[in-house]
Structure 1
Amino acid sequence: MQPHGPAVPTRRTLRVLTIVAAALLCLLPWAQSASAHGSIIDPASRNYGCWLRWGDDHLNPAMQQEDPMCWQAWQADPNAMWNWNGLYRNNVGGNHQAAVPDGQLCSGGRTEGGRYNSLDAVGAWKTTDISTNFRLHLYDQASHGADYFRVYVTRQGFDPATQPLTWSSLELVRETGRYAPSQDITFDASAPGRSGRHVVFTIWQASHMDQAYYICSDVNFT
């Protein structure tokens, strides 16, 4: 298990990082434009964490040994990290389990033409240390607001380092109400009885249209 996850950036830092990422995109012929959407940045989503740690050093060969799950993700499709805020599906109609099959939860059912498929890879992703009473932070550059958030946590005994994520491996621990449009939304959740490595799986149903985001955050309950 990793002792610490990525530090949560301040709002000003996020703006700087977004500008830097946009500048890098102009230099990379294979990168598509970053979408102005959002994701959970604390505890960091898989692709946001990879971007935060390696966005300015993604060609470093040391990543293969230091962070093998991020390494395979960068090799598979760097746009999964440059577009860390664009993992969503449109027109799901609230039927999330039908739209996102078992084993494909972290890629949103292989959405966006398979851009995020590497996030479904089973292995020891870097984790963020949290307690069983924890807070989630959504950064939403476009201020879409939310109809609701649903927060799931893997059941005790499930090992995300060796098992693919399935709906039956998750327990719903929090469903929120609506949130007004804002770039920063925080809310609390609780997962009693958890210890060690887990996945926090968040569904963010945006308010501006029928657009659902599927977000995997790897955590270590201390």
Structure 2
Amino acid sequence: MLAAAVLGLLPWSNTAVAHGSVTDPATRNYGCWARWGSDFQNPAMAQQDPMCWQAWQTDTNAMWNWNGLYREGVKGNHQGAIPDGQLCSGGNTENGRYRAMDTPGAWKTTDVSNNFRVNVTDQALHGADYLIVYVSKQGYNPKTQRLRWSDLEQVARTGKVAPNSSMPVNVSAPGRTGHHIVFTIWQASHSDQSYYFCSDVNFR
């Protein structure tokens, strides 16, 4: 597969020390990598998937490092560490590598019902002190608005989760229709690493 071959050549790839991400519903950067990682030079991306195209042009590393969107040393103060408008980039973590994730627009969505499951892929078997899932409130428009904390409603929180390749969280988000953002915080157990994930969904 071309993506695997390219990843083996890229000096910025961190697959050897992979961490993880929400893979269903796909995060913005994981979704771009899943759709275009093996075909990243295809000019059709600009028309077929313009939000991925702008993200790819902004910083290719955000896609190749789809499993590394985290901050260290937050100590549970997520709202203090991540400013409004920068939630999807983890507060411009990694020197702004993921900043294009904050850009409003027609991001590709995953269809969900009002009761659905968030699946966190724990590649490095970090485990979790906790996972928190938020869903944007009805009336928020991800096509035109950067995400703020006040746009979110917490819909699930777990306790400690043992290291596992998959960490599912069942979510109930009634009253939503259309395009929304699912915002997930994964507090890893192995150290003070906080992961921040934006997944675009369409409530059927």
Which one of 5, 14, 22 corresponds to residue 40 of structure 1?
Answer: 22
Alignment of 1:118-157 (within 5 A): 118-157=100-139
SS of residue matched to 2:95: helix
Q: Please, what TM-score do these two structures have when normalized by structure 1?
A: 0.88
Query: Is residue 156 of structure 2 the alignment partner of residue 177 of structure 1?
Result: no
Which one of 180, 183, 186 corresponds to residue 204 of structure 1?
Answer: 186
CA distance in 2, matches of 1:92, 1:22: 33
Render the CA deviation track for 1:184-205: whole Å, top value 9, x for unaligned: 1112011010110000000000
Which residue is equivalent to 1:59?
A: 41
1:59 CA drift (Å): 1.0
Q: Is the 8 A contact 1:47 1:81 kept in 2?
A: yes
CA distance in 1, matches of 2:9, 2:131: 36
Aligned AA (2:53)? W
Q: Please, what TM-score do these two structures have when normalized by structure 2?
A: 0.96
Unaligned 5+ runs, structure 2? none
Which residue is equivalent to 1:166?
A: 148
Which residue is equivalent to 2:198?
A: 216
Aligned AA (1:141)? Q
SS of residue matched to 1:186: strand
Q: What percentage of residue pairs aligned between the two structures are identical?
A: 66
Which one of 140, 152, 169 corresponds to residue 187 of structure 1?
Answer: 169
Render the CA deviation track for 1:135-187: whole Å, top value 9, x for unaligned: 01111111000011110000001100011100000111111111001111112
CA distance in 1, matches of 2:125, 2:183: 21
Render the CA deviation track for 1:100-150: whole Å, top value 9, x for unaligned: 000000000000111101101110100000001000111111100001111
1:33 CA drift (Å): 3.0
Unaligned 5+ runs, structure 1? 1-16
Which one of 75, 81, 88 corresponds to residue 106 of structure 1?
Answer: 88
1:23 CA drift (Å): 2.8
Q: Is the 8 A contact 2:179 2:201 kept in 1?
A: yes
CA distance in 2, matches of 1:72, 1:174: 31
Q: Is the 8 A contact 1:38 1:139 kept in 2?
A: yes
Query: Is residue 74 of structure 2 the alignment partner of residue 88 of structure 1?
Result: no
Query: Is residue 52 of structure 2 the alignment partner of residue 70 of structure 1?
Result: yes
CA distance in 1, matches of 2:173, 2:83: 24
